[in-house]
Amino acid sequence: MVRRHLLLIPALAAALVAAGCGSGSKNDYVKSVNDAQASLQKSLSSLSSISASSSGAQVATTLENGGNALDAAADNFNEIKPPDDAKNAHAKIVDGLHKLAGTFRTAAKSAKSNDLQAVAKTLTDVTTSEGAKEIQDAQNELMANGYKFKNS
């Protein structure tokens, strides 16, 4: 059950992938976002190692690593210089990724105490979490400003 919910995270991250259009500035931004997203996907690929036979400690380590990957992705996104019409949305992405990292750490704490039911609950709610909502708001804002996303 935990693994099924973890599969939602890369899908959520994929929502950040932009497929460019518009000015050179937008295209440069889109390329930077694509590169950062690819790095995030690679970092989160370890989540697929969680299985029904994983111990609480193994799940905790994997989730902590996922939280670290999300924080690193947020820091990488923060280094990207967005065009003026993307600055607000960009800040939401950075903040949303940090919030998702916190969600992973909350789940990791539950896993350390072998409360896998709490882990599953936390991860079930991840797509409606504050971090996910912030990232979705950012995506909507970017789309309204003419940015195109592969999944839209």
Tell whether 133 is covered by a domain: yes
**Domain containing residue 79:** 2-14+21-144
- For 45-77, how does the pLDDT look when each residue is reduced to its tens digit (9 = 90+)? 777 777 777 888 998 998 998 899 889 889 988
Q: What is the dihedral of CA 45, 47, 48, 52, to 10 degrees?
A: 170
Tell whether 120 is covered by a domain: yes
- For 111-133, how does the pLDDT look when each residue is reduced to its tens digit (9 = 90+)? 999 988 888 888 788 888 898 88
Q: For residues 73 and 120, is the Cβ–Cβ distance under 8 A? A: no
What does the block give as tokens for 113? 């105490």
In the chain, the number of structural domains is 1
Rounded distance, CA 52 to CA 67, Å? 21
